[in-house]
Amino acid sequence: MTLFLNLRTQNVGGSVVDPYLLDGDATVSPPALRAVNWAEIAPLVEGRNVLFVTHGFNVSYQDGARSLAMLGARLACTDSELFIGVLWPGDWWLPVVNYPFEGEVAIDCGRRVAAFAARWMAGAQSISLASHSLGARVVLETAERLSQPARSLTVTAGAVNHDCLATQYADAASNAVAVSVLASQQDWVLKLAFRIGDPISELLRDDHSPFQPALGYDGPHGALPDSLHGPWQIPPSANYGHGSYLPPSNGVDAPGAKWHQVADYIGRAWRGEGQGWP
């Protein structure tokens, strides 16, 4: 059984709604998930270290649920820990062309996740956040608005400008005890597509300088926060592309899969352990 925070109305596309908790089996098709009664939330989170993890751009409800459920299982939570996958509508029926508009959706979702945490998770021991791709904007917006610092903030393959931790999301970085980043210069999606799509997105929302490399490609730049922990650059020889970070959406695992390293990295960041990878 896996918990999810759902901000979606449809399997593909759809509008953003105020989040609510789901639980159940995401390995079947369609996912067998039920809405958690609001009265059940406080006992679920009381005294526990909570980790929210979100997927990125162009991921459907079903694919996101299946992938994040596998990630949660890999983390092997203890009784004092709680994993929650965040499902948000960063996709559309015609993929790719909608990318410039999904930044606004991610920002909206991040703010709603923060409001949910403020209202329903006051009893948690701590709150941590992790993301993939454009989900970076979801967790950075959330971190900026948490009433107390996030225990950890982990951004993998971040589809956001490389100096964001020193500029528009400096407040998010300062509102986290520990910030971790994973970047790969073998990520051709971020190397090529991000440099095309991000300037168009910037025309719609003027919050950063265009034509910069992505955080998930080049690693963090600018006046880096004291909370930032390394290492973050995955060696080129490891050949991590944009799809290497999360479990496959078809639910099929394989021994030695690349995402295992990423999941373990997220787990160590969440638990305040030292990093030996990458």
At 40 the three-state DSSP class reads: helix
Six-digit token pair at 128? Answer: 């941590």
The C-alpha atoms of residue 196 and residue 53 are separated, in whole angstroms, by 27
pLDDT value at 89 more than 80: yes
Q: What is the model's pLDDT at position 177?
A: 98
What would the pLDDT profile of 17-69 be if each residue is shown by its tens digit? 999 999 999 988 899 999 999 999 999 999 999 999 999 999 999 999 999 99
Q: What is the CB neighbour count within 10 angstroms for residue 52? A: 24
CB-CB contact of 82 with 48 (8 Å): yes
DSSP 263: H
pLDDT band at 208 (very low <50, low <70, confident <90, very high): very low
DSSP for residue 51? E
Structure tokens at 113: 């996740």
Residue 195 has pLDDT above 80, yes or no: no
Q: Yes or no: say if 84 and 52 are a contact pair by the CB < 8 Å rule.
A: yes
Residues in Cβ contact with 19 at an 8 Å cutoff, skipping those fewer than 6 apart:
5, 6, 7, 86, 109, 112, 113, 116
Exposure class string for 214-231: b at 16+ Cβ within 10 A, else e: bbbbbbbbeebbebbbeb
**Model confidence at 206: pLDDT above 60:** no
Please give the Cα distance from 47 to 78 (Å, whole number). 12
Contact 227, 247 (CB under 8 A): no
Whether the model pTM is above 0.85 = yes
Mode of pairing for the β-strands spanning 20-25 and 2-6: antiparallel
pLDDT for 192 equals 80
Q: Does the structural domain 2-270 have CATH classification 3.40.50.1820?
A: yes
The residues spanned by each domain of the chain are 2-270
The DSSP result for 85-144, as a single string, is: EEE-----SSTTTTHHHHHHHHHHHHHHHHHHHHHH-TT-SEEEEEEETTHHHHHHHHHH
Element (H, E) at 270: helix 258-270
Query: Could you tell me where the DSSP H helices lie in 121-214?
Result: 135-145, 170-174, 188, 194-204
